[in-house]
Amino acid sequence: MQVLPENVSQKGEVKMMHNQRPDADGYCLASSYEESGGLAVKILIRIDRELNENDQRTLREAQDMIWAGVQKETLRLNPETAPKAAEERALLLACFPAYCYVEEIPNGYCNQFCCAFKPWYIVTTPKGRIKIGWRKRVINIDWSDSAITEKGKDLFPTEDVTVGDTYIHAYGYSKATAYLRRLILGKELPKTA
């Protein structure tokens, strides 16, 4: 087990430093964040007064921005990221029985660095625009910007998933394909055993 400095928790939480002894150049450790075996960020500051709550909030925000930016760039540089994103795009679009245009948009569920390369899509179909993308372990399908007027509960009365007036969550690509065929082509859902 890795031993962490006393100012860093096991979960990698931000710890604000108070009354630290300045180094030879007069800097004190103002905040620190470290993940077990991962990225560490420390902010040094030289100031002739005590840090107040506003200072601490500013330091936390700066530290979070640095951490997320470095993590996002690390993810972008990972050679597996682009091929995975292309594969996910292809699998999502293969669920549609017909479409004529695809617009990539930021992830509609998560705006953190971990989802920066997991975009959602607005797909123009014969029935209008349908938004699709992963939300945790389900595929979110939203037809609110389409010509489809039926409500989710009427279109999918027997589905045991989250269903709103103009959206449904699909557990996997085969369910997403069935839901989109129902929405776009009016096909009944396949009977399940």
* CA–CA distance, 90 with 35 (Å, rounded to integer): 34
The pLDDT of residue 15 is 54
Mean pLDDT for 15-33 is 74
Torsion of CA 161, 162, 167, 172, to 10 degrees: -40
pLDDT averaged over every residue in the chain: 87
Strand partners, 122: 103, 131
pLDDT category at 8 given cuts 50, 70, 90 is very low
The pTM (predicted TM-score) of the whole model is 0.77
Buried b vs exposed e over 108-140: b needs ≥16 C-beta within 10 Å? beeeebebbbbbbbbbbbebebbbbbbbeebbb
33-92 pLDDT, tens digit each: 888 768 888 899 998 888 889 998 999 899 999 999 999 999 999 999 999 999 999 999
pLDDT at 9 over 60: no
- Between residues 1 and 178, the one the model is more confident about: 178
* CA–CA distance, 41 with 8 (Å, rounded to integer): 11
The pLDDT of residue 130 is 98
**Spatial CA neighbour of 27 closest among 50, 8, 43, 5:** 43
Question: Coil, strand, or helix at residue 62?
Answer: helix
pLDDT at 103 over 90: yes
Q: Looking at residue 24, what DSSP letter applies? A: T
* CA–CA distance, 163 with 41 (Å, rounded to integer): 42
Q: Looking at residue 111, what DSSP letter applies? A: -
**Spatial CA neighbour of 157 closest among 124, 188, 120:** 188
Range in 55-64, 148-157, 164-173 with the lowest mean pLDDT = 55-64
Is residue 173 within 8 Å of 139, Cβ to Cβ? Answer: yes
Is residue 138 within 8 Å of 167, Cβ to Cβ? Answer: no
The pLDDT of residue 39 is 86
Percent of the chain past pLDDT 90, that is, above it, reads: 66
106-132 pLDDT, tens digit each: 999 999 988 999 999 999 999 999 999
